[in-house]
Structure 1
């Protein structure tokens, strides 16, 4: 009834730009929403339910691409495939240079897992997706029981509404800037687990019991849980450590203040905390609760939240940052994120209530959520009378978790620990790293043995220098191949740069003869362009997928030989002229016969 056409590509929202720059194997920026049913999962039915869900939320069918100034999301023809859980929870979904969807649906026993890279959506978007997925699954598996298909959201919401960048929509540069004093918060320092695998501790409690305690103290449930976590962290601190405050980052759903149907990121955050050890004050739980309550009341106003949101967007719109190349921008964003981490002790994400129609309640046990983290994080959500908690950390110690549950039980809230429901044998995949480390060690060993043999057997010849240089060249070529293995087109472009520059360095080291520019440069340029055509043919790449790499390779093969000819660096002109001429014709053919794709790719790659 209403248009459902997606944009072929779109800019990242404000939060997604940070996630794309800072994600890593240790901090994947992936979070998991799950639903625990009262029955075993049927994978074939779950696949059908996922297919139906994707039809409603096609914005999730996107892959991350890299431009000159920013990453962006591109529409993809890839389709998700349901699998039984097979890897560590919240493992990497965004792998640089790999064209893959940024979410995954798995199952284990009676649990449906939805994992998503945070650059794609936030907790609210993920909640809507898994609600729809669970509803579709139950309708398909219990069709014979007469279970009706109930609409969970507004049917008038279009795909364009789902793709709406609400950060930009509500950005107001005229709002006054808030004044904030930077404070270094207490940092949790514990022994990390081997390989730093993610440690998950789940539990449940009664929503009614939590509400009863909250009302008793005259606070909201979020304030109560925030104060409990602050106090739980404090119980592990020494007197010296009390000089720094305990500060939590608490995400805030901006849709509650600014109307939006967006499925993209649209959240802010506040940073409640407490300074322990102050003279003249009793550091009891009531004091923490009182201060946290005051902070929430003061900082959850629409004006305060808007000021914080504007600050983040203004940083993104800074002219220097916008026009800085992505390779320079990413390290700056990472450094800024690292500095911001010093202002926070831990994270508490309350995803609020997951609501489902009464018809589905007999089949659902509970919903839950947790996230990957390089530190300690608590996530919570509720369904019916069940509040689900999940601590994640990469530390061996679970004292803070224990303290948190003891505090709740001391307040009269019974907490039941749950064993994380995923296969015990799942481990992080380090096979690729092990191979690369083994190869690196082999190259170093070869270099060291060469030096040893040279020093002992032929001390006057110094041939080990060339052996070391050869080992370094081999390592560099394989390192490029390893790190760019997910994208053969990009791999070929990097090999073009490495081989041609490496040949020039070798030529200089052996006494300049010019063979590197006279023969190696034009030969490699032509070979790489031919290999790119072969790769694009074998892998059935569309023009949009291969265009930028063809343009870069052809441009490099035209400009560099002609420049070296003009500077009289190249002394044998025939190979260089042949290389530049053929490359120019190749580039011209791309512009003439694939003009539309050429313009689109150039605009995407160079958007600011």
Structure 2
């Protein structure tokens, strides 16, 4: 692996080196008691009742399974052209977060469900980074907030507990934070930009899962729990996370994908699956498949602008049944696997299956602690059915006055049970950045991945956080 310009300290590793509707319940005809919320404030009518809301369908899982080793925290970073001013960043956080009620929440446990309640404590302190990306957010040490903003040298980091929102919502906040920070640092921007949140931003907090729920018409899309290939091997020291950035010319990637007759996303996922096939299975047949999960943003399918989670998981499945599949064959199989699962009909079936469990009238009145036991059991039984996850956060565009001050963006995922390597993709300007995070000491799969891209004419600039040095 070629060592780029980044070193362990680039990630803060400290070894040697809407409007706020006060007193309202914004859940249609439901009330806090529907979720088992018992509050003394409800008995004191003259006191403000904090805004509250239920968790979306996807978010219900994360509080149950989150641990220090499996944080369910993702990171989005903006790499600036100048050193970060912590005081300006803290001021930007205060201004921007005043408009984002969805992030000013604390997690509470009701009798039947978890729920969010408005958090009136001071926002988390903006600190210099001192841990690996995606580290567990200890709520008691974070004023009960489920996000944190850190910095290191020229980089601004936003880390979010996935129960709050997905990558779409996280990017909306990060972009507004960057805009506000730059207006503070460069007041001349105010000559052409207003000092407020961007016009056209939707702070919609609907549960788009429930809004678009329609029962599937007899089609069974229940998630299978069959075992998949697991990437194993010697692990990095406990608590460490390896990071590998691949910075790739967007035009060259598009040309390579087009040459194979597939989409860019299919090309990247297919190449990753092929790398696993060659380095783990050594080209041999296997009784269990390589199963790479790919989150699909559902907003464009349902005309949604929600800031809550709204995605579905599909799987790129490759089960080698003969010796020596070629690169072309694997790409074609993966592309067809993804294509067949990303039809509107299939995505609706997935949504319907997921939501049907939440709306089941027999399950709803079961106490939360029993639900948690059942959810954890189901999760543990299915966790090893996935080899890895590769998510594409999408294309990031900044307005012209801000663009010269931002060099790159990065997205990083934390680890999950059975998944020791994950990938996150985004594009900015004329580059696509794919970031792999891993707890494994062996980098052979990632070397193979970039080697395949290079053979297809894609120039790869590689940077790491140096944990393998």
Structure 2 spans left out of the alignment, 5+ residues: 1-17, 27-50
Report what 2:461 is aligned to.
416
Alignment of 1:100-499 (within 5 A): 100-144=144-188, 148-149=192-193, 154-155=199-200, 157=202, 159=203, 162-173=204-215, 175-179=217-221, 183-238=226-281, 242-278=286-322, 283-374=325-416, 375-420=420-465
Task: Tell me how far 1:359 sits from its aligned partner.
Answer: 2.3
Compared with structure 1, are the counterparts of its residues 145 and 123 closer, same or farther at alpha carbon in structure 2 (3 Å cutoff)? Answer: closer
Alignment check: 8 A CA contact 2:315 2:338 kept: no
Alignment check: 8 A CA contact 2:274 2:331 kept: no
Report what 1:34 is aligned to.
77
Report the Cα distance in structure 2 between the residues aligned to 1:292 and 1:152, rounded to whole angstroms. 41
Cα deviation 1:172-199 (Å, max 9, x = unaligned): 1254333566542112221222224222
Alignment check: 8 A CA contact 1:64 1:94 kept: no
SS in 2 for 1:222: helix
Task: Tell me how far 1:154 sits from its aligned partner.
Answer: 4.6
Report the Cα distance in structure 2 between the residues aligned to 1:202 and 1:183, rounded to whole angstroms. 31
Out of 118, 132, 153, the residue aligned to residue 75 of structure 1 is 118
SS in 1 for 2:58: helix
Report the Cα distance in structure 2 between the residues aligned to 1:409 and 1:81, rounded to whole angstroms. 42
TM-score normalised over the length of structure 1: 0.65
Report the Cα distance in structure 2 between the residues aligned to 1:230 and 1:407, rounded to whole angstroms. 11
Cα deviation 1:356-402 (Å, max 9, x = unaligned): 11222211101110011132101111101121121112222222111
Report the Cα distance in structure 2 between the residues aligned to 1:165 and 1:250, rounded to whole angstroms. 21
Alignment check: 8 A CA contact 1:135 1:149 kept: no
Task: Tell me how far 1:343 sits from its aligned partner.
Answer: 1.9
TM-score normalised over the length of structure 2: 0.83
**Segment drifting more, 47-56 vs 17-26:** 47-56
Report the Cα distance in structure 2 between the residues aligned to 1:141 and 1:169, rounded to whole angstroms. 41
SS in 2 for 1:368: strand
Alignment check: 8 A CA contact 1:64 1:99 kept: no
Report the Cα distance in structure 1 between the residues aligned to 2:236 and 2:392, rounded to whole angstroms. 26
Structure possessing the higher radius of gyration over alpha carbons: 1
Quick check: which one's helix share is greater? 1
Report the Cα distance in structure 2 between the residues aligned to 1:233 and 1:96, rounded to whole angstroms. 40
Task: Tell me how far 1:139 sits from its aligned partner.
Answer: 1.7
Report the Cα distance in structure 2 between the residues aligned to 1:195 and 1:128, rounded to whole angstroms. 33
SS in 2 for 1:114: strand
When the two chains are superposed, the root-mean-square deviation of aligned CA atoms in Å is: 2.3
Compared with structure 1, are the counterparts of its residues 152 and 205 closer, same or farther at alpha carbon in structure 2 (3 Å cutoff)? Answer: farther
Compared with structure 1, are the counterparts of its residues 119 and 182 closer, same or farther at alpha carbon in structure 2 (3 Å cutoff)? Answer: closer
Compared with structure 1, are the counterparts of its residues 52 and 44 closer, same or farther at alpha carbon in structure 2 (3 Å cutoff)? Answer: same
Report the Cα distance in structure 1 between the residues aligned to 2:197 and 2:248, rounded to whole angstroms. 26
Greater RCO between the two (CA within 8 Å, min separation 6)? Answer: 2
Report the Cα distance in structure 1 between the residues aligned to 2:322 and 2:360, rounded to whole angstroms. 40
Report the Cα distance in structure 1 between the residues aligned to 2:231 and 2:145, rounded to whole angstroms. 34
Task: Tell me how far 1:202 sits from its aligned partner.
Answer: 1.8
Report the Cα distance in structure 1 between the residues aligned to 2:53 and 2:389, rounded to whole angstroms. 30
SS in 2 for 1:342: helix
Report the Cα distance in structure 2 between the residues aligned to 1:403 and 1:320, rounded to whole angstroms. 49
Number of aligned residue pairs: 416
Cα deviation 1:102-127 (Å, max 9, x = unaligned): 00111100000000100001010001
Report the Cα distance in structure 1 between the residues aligned to 2:54 and 2:433, rounded to whole angstroms. 34
SS in 1 for 2:303: coil
Compared with structure 1, are the counterparts of its residues 192 and 267 closer, same or farther at alpha carbon in structure 2 (3 Å cutoff)? Answer: same
Quick check: which one's strand share is greater? 2
Structure 1 spans left out of the alignment, 5+ residues: 425-608
Cα deviation 1:198-232 (Å, max 9, x = unaligned): 22222211111101111222211100001011011
Out of 2, 21, 26, the residue aligned to residue 5 of structure 1 is 21
Cα deviation 1:493-536 (Å, max 9, x = unaligned): xxxxxxxxxxxxxxxxxxxxxxxxxxxxxxxxxxxxxxxxxxxx
Report the Cα distance in structure 2 between the residues aligned to 1:30 and 1:207, rounded to whole angstroms. 27
Report what 2:43 is aligned to.
none
Compared with structure 1, are the counterparts of its residues 137 and 175 closer, same or farther at alpha carbon in structure 2 (3 Å cutoff)? Answer: farther
Report the Cα distance in structure 1 between the residues aligned to 2:201 and 2:67, rounded to whole angstroms. 38
